[in-house]
Every structure is written in structure tokens, then in C-alpha cells.
Amino acid sequence: MLRAKPLPASLRPRKRYIAFRAESDRRLTRREVGSAIAASALSLFGETGVSEMNLRLLEFREDEQRGFVVCAHTQVLRAVAAMSAVSEIGGERVHLRPLGVSGTVRALRRKFLSGEAALISSEKRVKLEGKDFILRGTISGLCYAEPVDEVLRERLRILKLRFVGALDKELRGEEDAADAKHGL
């Protein structure tokens, strides 16, 4: 099939690339993130508005939960608003946190998409303020713990969350708790 001749550089639409990190209590797929951004943009700005934005998800790395979108260079604020207005995917709370904006993909990768602390999975039983939790993961000292207490689980269900966020130093392992019991 005959391909369209590329426009000269001076006539090509100017673009901005926005890197983001998807934050959620579960791993999101590219398809889910792409449709959530499109639905949010359509809901906020309508079909005419989105056609002016030229907003598309270009890349989403499911292992790192990071990616980037492209938009028209004058529509960065609207694109950020559309991503920021995504509140849930599949009935669970999420946040697509913008990391930065760049004019080229190469600069975007160098500045915002290189090097990320890895999530360390865990199944340890811990205590937080006297209540029992199961530690599910830690990333850069930020821990995600699942409560055993039914009242707290109900509160999380209402908030559409699975885990409580706590600092590693606030959680006490079972051994530490036993030490504390014996006054050590």
C-alpha cells in the first residue's frame, strides 16, 4: 500500500511526551491504562477537546508500571488533568502520577524512565499500632500491608483499596513484637 509522504519538519505537529507511573494495589495492564486515560479525557473534555489534544498512550511497561503518553504541545495541562482524573480501574483505586514532561522520547527516557526502586514482595505477619497485618510488599521504605482486622478491611473495601500504607519503621515483625512483650 502506498504510504503517505512524511511532512517536512516545519509542518509536523509539535508534541510533548508525559511520563507517568501507575500506582495501584495490583498490577495494571497496558490495555486497562490506555482505556482509562481515553475514557477520562473523553469524560472531561469531550470528543472535540480530545481531538485537539491528540492524546495517545505510546508505551506502558507492565513490569515497572510506568509509561508515557503523547499530546499536542499546547495541551499538556489538559493531558495532566485527564490522567489525574483517573481514579479507579476495575473497581480499585489507582493514580496515574505524572513524572515529567519532555519534547523528545529520548530525553523523557533518560530523565524520568531510567532506574526505579523495585517492589520487594513479602508474606510476613507484622503489627501496626497493636493490630495484625500481613506485609505484602515494600518499595523504598514504603510498605503495603493487608489488615487481618475485619473493621479495617471493611474501611478499605469502602475506599476500594486492599492495603494500608505504612513506613517500614512503623511496622513490627512477629519477633520484634515478641521481644517487646518480654520487655526487651
Q: Which residues bind another protein (CB under 8 A)?
A: 23-24, 43-45, 77-78, 80-81, 84-85, 87, 93-95, 97-98, 128-129, 141-143, 155-156, 159, 161, 164-167, 169-170
Compare residues 75 and 184 and give the one whose CB is closer to another protein: 75
Q: Which residues contact 162 (CB under 8 A, 6 or more apart)?
A: 25, 26, 92, 136, 146, 156
Q: Which residues contact 72 (CB under 8 A, 6 or more apart)?
A: 13, 14, 15, 16, 52, 53, 54
Output the smallest distance, CB 165 to another protein, in A: 4
The C-alpha cell that represents 70 in the structure block: 503523547
Output the smallest distance, CB 10 to another protein, in A: 29
Compare residues 58 and 161 and give the one whose CB is closer to another protein: 161
Output the smallest distance, CB 11 to another protein, in A: 29
d(CA 175, CA 84): 41
